[in-house]
Amino acid sequence: MEEKTSKVRTGTVNCMIAALIICLIAEAIGPLEFQVMGIDVRIMTMIWAIIIGILLSPHLLGKVIPALQKVISKPEIERSPFLLSMVLYPLGIMFGISAGPQIGVVFEAGLALVLQEFGNMGTMLIALPLAIFMGLGRSSVGATFSLCRDTALGITGDKYGLNSDEGIGTLGTYISGSIFGTLFYSFLAPISLMIGFHPYALAMASGMGSASMMQAATAALVNAAPAYEEQILAYSATSGLLTSVTGVYMELFLALPLANLMYKKLHRPIEGLRAKVFGKKV
């Protein structure tokens, strides 16, 4: 008589069902729109998907509603990074297909728009040492080598795995950027304009590779400088396209190796400084 084999719960089906339901709820709620000091702020529906997903964790609502752990628990948590990686591959293909035919824009846009990608690496010089000092360890590399949008998730997921420290760092910046980045850029654009930055430069800076952040920055900039509306939209769109075309190569071949090199050289002295500041071994 053959022994009956019990089915192993992998979490794949539950992850897909939960993701579909969460997306439907988020789309039904719609974007979050409000005004602060006369500045229009619009946060995309992704914020609701993130919040709901966090709440459904077995460490939050799972503790209050034990039945929820039958749907979302350890198997689903362990499976979700692999499913996310699978989703990012077709997204990367979509970027290539849409941006590839427009490669001529890179050569026509001018030196300033091309060199702006090096500005994205400049933030790493400040962010990575600060992240190490805060005790993030190897997560500092994944969190600071780029703005940590979709392409960065694909790179760290493929190179290290999203369960790794680097992958967790990228995911952390991705989530915090979706929530706080939109607010930050909504205020940064008009404030920078008041300081004296030219609208064209700010429009170029708006195309940083995030649709939600670019929309927030562009809308606030147009609201503050309506006379330059057409130019602002044109520069931000071109900048966003360039980021899609060149950003993945900058991240993969320049930014990530530089982040690893910086971490190798800096983590011991900075962690030593951190130990002295906090008075304990770290």
Q: What percent of the chain has pLDDT over 70?
A: 82
**Per mean pLDDT, which range of 73-77, 108-112, 143-147, 151-155 is the poorest?**
108-112
Quote the CA–CA distance of 161 and 88 in Å, as a whole number.
Answer: 12
* 185 within 8 A of 217, measured Cβ to Cβ: yes
Element (H, E) at 276: helix 256-278
**Per mean pLDDT, which range of 11-15, 102-106, 138-142, 259-263 is the poorest?**
102-106
* 74 within 8 A of 51, measured Cβ to Cβ: no
Give the model's pLDDT for residue 2.
Answer: 44
Phi and psi torsions of 41, nearest 5°: -120, 130
* 120 within 8 A of 148, measured Cβ to Cβ: no
Phi and psi torsions of 36, nearest 5°: -130, 120
Q: Return the SS3 of 33.
A: strand
Confidence of residue 109 (pLDDT cuts 50, 70, 90): low
Give the model's pLDDT for residue 103.
Answer: 57
72 vs 98 pLDDT, higher one: 72
* 223 within 8 A of 190, measured Cβ to Cβ: yes
pLDDT, tens digit, 9 for 90 and up, residues 11-21: 788 888 888 99
Quote the CA–CA distance of 51 and 65 in Å, as a whole number.
Answer: 17
**Per mean pLDDT, which range of 38-47, 137-146, 210-219, 253-262 is the poorest?**
38-47
* 11 within 8 A of 139, measured Cβ to Cβ: no
The angle, 0 to 180 degrees and rounded to 10, between the axes of the packed helices 256-278 and 124-133 is 40
* 44 within 8 A of 212, measured Cβ to Cβ: yes
* 156 within 8 A of 167, measured Cβ to Cβ: yes
- Residue 3 DSSP code: P
Quote the CA–CA distance of 244 and 149 in Å, as a whole number.
Answer: 11
Give the model's pLDDT for residue 256.
Answer: 93
pLDDT, tens digit, 9 for 90 and up, residues 119-171: 767 788 899 999 999 999 999 999 999 888 877 888 888 889 888 899 899 98
